[in-house]
Amino acid sequence: MPRLALYAVAVCVLAVVAAVISFVQGSWLGIVWVLLAGLSSNMAWYYLRRQRVQAAG
């Protein structure tokens, strides 16, 4: 697994945890964390697919 994909997955997990904590505390700031989780998830998928394409080609 590429290093950037691992970093993106780590950011995604941390952002989800931060979003849950924010929503539990009643803060709407959790929306920002959800958006960050979505962005980092897409980055992780991109780097994984890019590695598969490079390995196949």
Residues 29, 52: Cα–Cα separation, whole Å: 36
pLDDT at 3: 93
CA distances for 19 relative to 1, 35, 36, 38, 49, angstroms: 26, 9, 9, 12, 27
- Residue 41's pLDDT is 97
Q: Is the pLDDT of residue 1 over 90?
A: no
pLDDT tens figures, 9-46: 999 999 999 999 999 999 999 999 999 999 999 999 99
When pLDDT is averaged across residues 1-11 and rounded to a whole number, the result is 93
With a cut of 90, say whether residue 57 has pLDDT above it.
Answer: no
